[in-house]
Amino acid sequence: MSPFYVRPYVNVHKNDDCDAEAIAEAATRPTISFVAIKSEEQLNLQALHRSRESL
């Protein structure tokens, strides 16, 4: 789930308990879209592109 959608549900201070509560609250909303999990191959390719970009 994108942090963009969770942020409005964080109440007071940022800590693990508040974050978990906000994620649970956001997940119950019907209009929230979830982020697809990347495969290991996609992550390796992304790391390769980032290392090339830094050179």
Can you tell me the distance from the alpha carbon of 25 to that of 19, in angstroms, rounded to the nearest whole number? 10
Query: pLDDT tens digits, residue range 1-55?
Result: 666 667 676 767 777 777 777 778 777 877 776 778 889 999 999 999 999 998 8
Q: According to the model, what pLDDT value does residue 43 have? A: 93
Backbone angles phi and psi of 31, in degrees to 5: -95, 0
pLDDT for 11:
67
Position 40 scores a pLDDT of: 93
Q: How far apart are CA 37 and CA 12, in angstroms?
A: 29
What is the helix (H) or strand (E) element at residue 21, kind and residue range? helix 16-27
